[in-house]
C-alpha cells in the first residue's frame, strides 16, 4: 500500500524522566462554531441534524479543555506495546476497533496490522489512512510513527450515534459516522485522518498550547500535514493538490467542498444551512474571541495560507521542501506558547539553515508571512 523509505528510521533512546499523569485532551476536526450553528437550526426538516450537533457539542464541552503545554515525555500509556529495537520501524503497526454506536473506547478490535481487508468500509478507510500518515512521516522525514519511536497507531470507528465529529484523544483516533444530512462518515477524508494524527505528532514534539495563537498554530500544523498526507499518497505536486481539509465528509445536500481551504481560507463552503466559511486569510481579519479556546479553529486560516503560499512559491512536491521547513520548525525550533510572529521567524530561520540564507526557499517563506500580514 505504501512505498518504503530510503532509510530506516531509528527510535530515540528511552527517556529517563519519571512518569507523570496525563490529562486527556480531545482535538476535534469539526469546529465548535459550526456545530453551534447547526444546533441552533429551527427548520423541522433538520431536527435530526440539530440533535446530532447538540450531542457532539456536549461531548466537546466535556473534554475540550485548554492543555497548558507539557514536556514530550508526559504521555498516556499505549493500549498496544511499542515496537521493540528489533522491529522494522519503517512499517506501521495499526489497530482498528469498532465502538458499534456507543461512546465506549476503544471498542472491539476488528483489524490489526497485516490482516486482510474487513467487510466494513470504515474499518478499511481508517486502516489505510493510518498507513498513509505513517508513510508520509517515515518516507519524507525518516520519523518512526508520530512519536518518532514506533508508536502503534490506533483508531476507533462508528463512535456514538450519528456522531458529527472525529477527534484525537491523546492516544487514538476516533471517528463518528455523521448525521447523514450534513455530515457523512469521517473516515472518508484522508486529510481528516492525517490532521488528527498530526495532533499526536504535535503532542510528542512542540506540544503547542491549545489556546489563542499557539492553539491556532496547533490546528494549522495539523492541517498542513493532513494536506501533505493526502498529497503524498496521491503523488500530487503543489498545483495538482486541492489544499482542502475535510473534502468528502459533507453529504451531497451541502453547498461546499470541505471544512477548510488552505489555498483560499473562507471559501470552503457557502450553504443555506451551514452558512459561509468564516476563516480569515489575513491578520487584518484576525478574530478576537473567547470561544473555541480563543478561536483556534477559525484563526488557523492565516498560517494555513502562509504554508500554501510557501509551497506554491517553492513549487514541486510540498512535503519535500516546504514540508521539511515546517517539520524542522515544529520538532526543533519552537516552544509550546509560540505565537504567529514567533513561528514565522522560526520557519524563516529553519529555511536559511537548511537551504541557505539567500535561497529561494527563504524568500518564499518570508514572502508568505508578509502576504498574510504576520510580518512586515
Q: What is the pLDDT along the chain (376 residues), one digit of tens a residue?
A: 333 334 445 443 333 333 333 334 689 999 999 999 999 999 999 999 999 999 999 877 654 444 445 443 334 445 565 555 556 778 999 999 999 999 999 999 999 999 999 999 999 999 999 999 999 999 999 999 999 999 999 999 999 999 999 999 999 999 999 999 999 999 999 999 999 999 999 999 999 999 999 999 999 999 999 999 999 999 999 999 999 999 999 999 999 999 999 999 999 999 999 999 999 999 999 999 999 999 999 999 999 999 999 999 999 999 999 999 999 999 999 999 999 999 999 999 999 999 999 999 999 999 999 999 999 8
Give the three cell numbers for residue 210: 491549545
CATH architecture of the domain formed by 24-237+244-301: Roll (3.10)
Per the CB < 8 A criterion, the answer to whether 282 and 322 are in contact is no
Residue 81 burial (10 A CB sphere; 0-12, 13-18, 19+) = exposed
Give the C-alpha separation, 249 to 197, whole Å: 17
Q: Which residues pair with 296 in a beta bridge?
A: none
The total number of residues written for the chain in this structure: 376
DSSP 100-121: TTS--SS-EEEEETTPPPPS-H
- Could you give the CA distance from residue 44 to residue 27 in angstroms, rounded to a whole number? 31
Q: Which three cell numbers stand for residue 83?
A: 515496537
From the centroid of its chain, how far is CA 165? 13
Please say whether the beta carbons of 330 and 202 come within 8 A. yes
Residue 7 DSSP symbol: S
Bridge partners, residue 97, by sequence: 109, 156
Tell me which residue of 26, 25, 12 sits closest to 73, measured CA to CA.
12
Where along the chain do its domains lie? 24-237+244-301
d(CA 316, CA 324): 13
Whether this model's pTM surpasses 0.85: yes
In angstroms, the CA 111 to CA 121 distance is: 12
List the one residue out of 101, 110, 53 whose CA is nearest residue 275. 53
Which 3 state secondary structure label does DSSP give 8? coil
DSSP 8-state symbol, 330: I
3-state secondary structure of 96: strand
For the annotated catalytic residues, the residue numbers are 196, 297
What is d(CA 130, CA 92) in angstroms, rounded to the nearest whole number? 8
- Look at the alpha carbons of 58, 62, 67, 73 in this order and tell me if their dihedral is positive or negative: negative
Per-residue DSSP letter, 329: I
> Which residue has 471559501 as its cell numbers?
267
Q: How far apart are the first and last CA of the chain?
A: 44
CA gap 212, 98 in Å, rounded: 34
Amino acid at each position: 500500500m505504501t512505498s518504503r523509505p530510503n532509510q530506516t528510521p531509528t527510535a530515540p533512546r528511552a527517556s529517563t524522566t519519571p512518569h507523570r499523569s496525563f490529562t486527556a485532551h480531545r482535538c476535534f476536526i469539526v469546529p465548535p462554531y459550526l456545530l453551534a450553528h447547526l444546533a441552533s437550526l429551527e427548520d423541522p426538516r433538520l431536527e435530526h441534524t440539530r440533535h446530532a450537533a447538540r450531542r457532539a457539542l456536549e461531548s466537546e464541552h466535556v473534554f475540550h479543555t485548554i492543555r497548558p503545554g507539557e514536556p514530550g515525555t508526559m504521555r498516556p500509556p499505549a493500549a498496544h506495546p511499542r515496537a521493540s529495537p528489533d522491529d522494522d520501524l519503517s512499517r506501521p503497526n495499526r489497530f482498528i476497533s469498532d465502538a458499534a454506536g456507543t461512546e465506549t473506547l476503544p471498542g472491539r478490535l476488528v483489524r490489526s496490522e497485516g490482516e486482510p481487508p474487513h467487510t466494513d468500509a470504515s474499518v478499511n478507510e481508517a486502516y489505510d489512512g493510518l498507513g498513509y500518515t505513517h508513510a508520509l512521516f517515515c518516507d519524507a522525514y525518516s520519523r518512526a510513527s508520530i512519536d518518532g519511536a514506533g508508536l502503534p497507531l490506533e483508531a476507533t470507528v462508528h463512535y456514538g450515534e450519528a456522531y458529527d465529529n472525529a477527534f484525537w484523544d491523546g492516544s487514538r483516533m476516533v471517528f463518528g459516522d455523521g448525521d447523514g444530512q450534513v455530515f457523512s462518515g469521517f473516515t472518508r477524508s484522508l486529510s481528516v485522518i492525517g490532521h488528527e494524527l498530526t495532533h499526536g505528532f504535535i503532542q510528542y514534539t512542540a506540544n503547542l498550547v491549545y489556546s489563542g495563537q499557539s492553539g491556532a498554530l496547533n490546528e494549522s500544523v495539523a492541517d498542513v500535514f493532513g494536506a501533505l498526507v493526502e498529497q503524498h499518497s496521491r503523488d500530487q505536486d503543489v498545483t495538482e493538490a486541492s489544499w482542502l481539509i475535510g473534502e468528502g465528509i459533507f453529504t451531497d445536500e451541502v453547498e461546499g467542498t470541505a471544512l477548510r481551504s488552505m489555498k483560499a481560507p473562507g471559501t470552503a463552503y457557502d450553504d443555506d444551512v451551514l452558512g459561509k466559511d468564516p476563516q480569515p486569510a489575513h491578520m487584518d481579519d484576525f478574530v478576537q474571541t473567547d470561544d473555541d479556546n480563543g478561536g483556534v479553529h477559525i484563526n488557523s486560516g492565516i498560517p494555513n495560507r502562509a504554508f500554501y503560499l510557501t509551497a506554491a512559491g517553492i513549487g514541486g512536491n510540498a512535503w519535500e521542501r516546504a514540508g521539511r521547513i515546517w517539520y524542522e520548525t515544529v520538532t526543533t525550533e519552537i516552544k509550546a506558547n509560540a505565537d504567529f510572529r514567533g513561528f514565522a521567524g522560526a520557519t524563516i530561520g529553519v529555511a536559511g539553515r537548511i537551504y541557505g540564507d539567500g535561497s529561494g526557499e527563504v524568500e518564499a517563506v518570508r514572502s508568505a508571512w508578509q502576504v498574510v500580514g504576520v510580518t512586515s
